[in-house]
Structure 1
Amino acid sequence: MSLTSSRANYIAILLGLIFWFLFLTSRRVKRYIIVLLLIFSTLAIILVPQKIYSGFNSIFSLLSTISNVTEGSSMQIRINLIKNSMQFIAESFGFGIGTGNSEHYMQLFGKYPTHTIINIHNWWIEMMVNYGIFIFIGYLLIYFGLIFYLYKIFKDAAGNSRMIAEALCSALVAFFLASISPSSQITLNYLWLLFAFAIGFINYWRSANLSSINPINRRKTNERNVRTNMEEI
């Protein structure tokens, strides 16, 4: 991230931290974090003010380029890549142009100038262009479903399972923006490992939870039946 100066990655990390702070920490932990941040920020400003200023200045300068949409700028090229992609989707009636064809179409049929950049650089748009709207919607359902189940596990679990759910949930949330930085995600192993680990952990939790809950449910049902029978007698 520091080598490529990726703005999307900076924002993705910030998004993941905000999600973790708001939804995955207790009130007591939130208070501790705020107090520690105030203490360390005060000490850093007092001891190394120049480095703090230089760091914030670099970050703000990098993020300020997002608003630069002049012709030939990075943001303008990304916007035109998305415009061309929407054009391809419309012309294919939402069914997509086929796996791996986005660069070929971008090079030959793109109406908006991308200055020799033919890779979409956006995982979500790339998925929709190549595979169509219906597969894209299915992928979104799986993605948000994983986040939902992991958050639910985080609320119900304890110990190591709670920590694993917390880490996976935060990683998937951060992935939403981090995935628009690389040229392509489909060949990156860690993407599929993340999804596989999340699905595997959810299945493990459900299996372990069902095996531990079912006997309890049966016992409660038996107790209710006994009470009902006693009342009838």
Structure 2
Amino acid sequence: MKILYIIFVLDIFFSFLESVTSFRLPISPFSQYVTFFGRENSLNDIAFNGVITYPTGFHWNPNNLATTLAIIFPFFLIIKKHISKYMVLSVIFLIIVSTSSRANMISVVIIFLIYLIWYKKRLFLKLCPLFLLLLILINFQPLKVDNIYINSFYDSINSIKEDFNNSNEINSISVRKQLIEDAIAIFIETKGIGIGGGGTKAIDGSLGTGAALHNFWLEILVESGIVFFLIFVFWYLTVMIKLYIVAKNSKNTLLINYSTSCLLSLIGFIFGAVSVSSAIYLLPMWILFGFSIATINNFEREKKERLYQYENISTN
């Protein structure tokens, strides 16, 4: 965990620099050096104004970065040092806003609300008026302010409201809606058997061949079929339930913190998984799955040790 914390803190640091300056890691698609890594740059797709320029961190892509930050968000949420904790959380949210990843904005807000309800009920009640005010501001945006982050946040929220009500306008959400419709059509055509791993890349739908679904859950359903999809969803829910049991019953503070973080992260990932083009190659997701299983196994080991100690005491 210490090694992972160091890696992710560095990731946050460089991503923050990319959010507020024109600095770019060489692997960024907006760097002139990315061609050395066998990738094409996207310098023509964005104007460098030195303020906000789609950060990518260690992940090549803004959506991958945003989903990764949403995954690690709960692990910083459980840190006891309040000042440093809320500083890091604020920076993470600012970076996610900079990526314009709507799904992950929703993800971290839901994670934070569940955390407050679970651990800080009094604070949640005190903050309820603020949440209501934010909802009002989201629905009735005031005059544009001279802050690119606030405007980016408003634009992302407004696009969610407007794009789902306007199917004629071509934008990111309307494109994804069409991809979902094409994928569902293929799923029905194959009678739920699935088209094989990576098959969605070859869907020749209304938007043409090779477009990524940007929906991990639908990707599993269409590629692997209904049987594997249900097995995976059952496994996912089982892991979440077991983590909740660990958080409620463990006597080890470290296990409680890890299980809580993993559970909140898995809840947030339900939403964040529709942001990346494909989560199959997203390493932080696999780290989360593995760490969740390890935490559950450590709890089982802890129970056996407690039982063994109890039996020894009883025998003596």
Q: TM-score range with shorter-chain normalisation?
A: 0.7 to 0.9
| 8 Å contact from structure 1 (residues 16, 173) kept in 2 | yes
Identity of aligned residues (%): 26
Separation (CA, whole Å) in 2 of partners of 1:122 and 1:206? 34
| 8 Å contact from structure 2 (residues 215, 274) kept in 1 | yes
- CA separation of 1:165/1:123 partners in 2, compared to 1, >3 Å: closer, same or farther? same
Partner SS, residue 281 of structure 2: coil
Match of 1:114 in 2: 207
Deviation at 1:76, TM superposition (A): 1.6
Match of 1:148 in 2: 241
- CA separation of 1:53/1:117 partners in 2, compared to 1, >3 Å: closer, same or farther? farther
| 8 Å contact from structure 1 (residues 102, 130) kept in 2 | yes
RMSD: 3.1
Deviation at 1:101, TM superposition (A): 1.1
Deviation at 1:65, TM superposition (A): 0.4
- Which moved further from structure 2: 204-213 or 169-178? 204-213
Deviation at 1:157, TM superposition (A): 2.0
| 8 Å contact from structure 1 (residues 19, 173) kept in 2 | no
Match of 2:302 in 1: 208
Deviation at 1:215, TM superposition (A): 4.9
Partner SS, residue 279 of structure 2: coil
| 8 Å contact from structure 1 (residues 147, 172) kept in 2 | yes
Does 2:224 match 1:131?
yes
- CA separation of 1:100/1:212 partners in 2, compared to 1, >3 Å: closer, same or farther? same
Structure 1 unaligned residues grouped into runs of 5+: 40-49, 223-233
Match of 2:115 in 1: 20
Q: How many residues align?
A: 205
Partner SS, residue 95 of structure 1: coil
- CA separation of 1:37/1:94 partners in 2, compared to 1, >3 Å: closer, same or farther? closer
Does 2:102 match 1:11?
no
TM-score (norm 2): 0.58
Separation (CA, whole Å) in 1 of partners of 2:128 and 2:189? 52
- Which moved further from structure 2: 3-12 or 66-75? 66-75
Name the aligned partner's letter for residue 279 of structure 2. Answer: Q
Q: Deviations over 1:169-189 (max 9, x none)?
A: 111111001111011110111
| 8 Å contact from structure 2 (residues 97, 152) kept in 1 | no
Match of 2:140 in 1: none
| 8 Å contact from structure 1 (residues 77, 115) kept in 2 | no
Structure 2 unaligned residues grouped into runs of 5+: 1-95, 131-142
Q: Which one of the candidate residues 194, 215, 218 is aligned to 2:288?
A: 194
Match of 1:185 in 2: 279
Q: Which one of the candidate residues 263, 274, 277 is aligned to 1:169?
A: 263
Separation (CA, whole Å) in 2 of partners of 1:7 and 1:116? 25
Deviation at 1:8, TM superposition (A): 0.6
Deviation at 1:132, TM superposition (A): 0.6
TM-score (norm 1): 0.76
Match of 2:157 in 1: 63
Match of 1:44 in 2: none
Match of 2:63 in 1: none
Q: Which structure has the greater CA radius of gyration?
A: 1
| 8 Å contact from structure 2 (residues 102, 157) kept in 1 | yes
- CA separation of 1:92/1:37 partners in 2, compared to 1, >3 Å: closer, same or farther? closer
Partner SS, residue 119 of structure 1: coil
Match of 2:181 in 1: 83
- CA separation of 1:117/1:77 partners in 2, compared to 1, >3 Å: closer, same or farther? farther
